[in-house]
A and B are shown apart, each in its own frame.
Chain A
């Protein structure tokens, strides 16, 4: 039996959602959950502000390895997940633009496939070395997390 595919991408190119869905659709697939993060122009939660654009930067070889680790973690938790795509777009990205994709496919929607995609985006933000510089009317700022990965 051919194992289900895992695709990871770090790219400057626009994201093609239909192509991503097609990549993880097999003859047994009946459900695909696609989460995408989008550049938000207006933030009201927390520290209200406007964003002109974001500049994403990645440590690409390590980011790719950590994306594969996230995919492995998803498979260990949700055995019914079939295909997985994890994608990070880098470079200058304007409001309204998709920046990140976690897509998981499965035979059925009650297979844990929603939870798998949710887990994927949370882990991506914890351990995958990607940073964004936010540029707005107030100036520019590096957005940083406070999660310190452990090395166990």
Chain B
């Protein structure tokens, strides 16, 4: 097991009601696996997670990427190109 920090921004911050959590995760976990853990912990963002972007240690990541120990994870909506509007 190791820990990772998960940061939430914009809609994901509003829907989880938090900016940051620390999670215990098993070794060898992938980004996709972490999304499942987060979905279980924060059901309010189940829909938003489907098209959220994820960064691992400040670089964009995909579901197959591994999560290194003590990683800083960030979850956020597509950046503000302004093509669609999500009402809250």
- Which residues on A are within 8 Å of B, measured CB to CB? 47, 57, 59, 61-62, 65, 125-134, 139-151
Contacts and interface: CB of A to CB of B under 8 A. Distances in A.
Interface in B39-66: 51, 53, 55, 58-62, 65
- B7, B10, B51, B60: most-surrounded residue (chain A CB, <10 A): B10
A131 B86 CA distance: 12
A152 B82 CA distance: 24
A148 B77 CA distance: 9
B78 interface: yes
Interface residues of B, number: 28
Contact of A131 (B10, B65, B85): B10
Contact of B79 (A140, A147, A150): A147
Nearest to A62: B58
B85 A145 contact: no
A30 B83 CA distance: 36
Interface of B: 7, 9-11, 14, 51, 53, 55, 58-62, 65, 74, 76-88
Contact of A141 (B7, B74, B86): B86
A23 B58 CA distance: 28
A118 B88 CA distance: 32
A72 to B, nearest CB: 14
Nearest to A149: B60
Please give me the 7 A-B residue pairs with the lowest Cβ-Cβ distance, nearest first.
Answer: A145-B81, A131-B10, A62-B58, A145-B78, A146-B83, A144-B77, A125-B81
10 contacts: A47-B85, A57-B9, A65-B59, A125-B81, A129-B74, A134-B85, A140-B88, A142-B77, A146-B83, A148-B53
- A128, A129, A133: most-surrounded residue (chain B CB, <10 A): A129
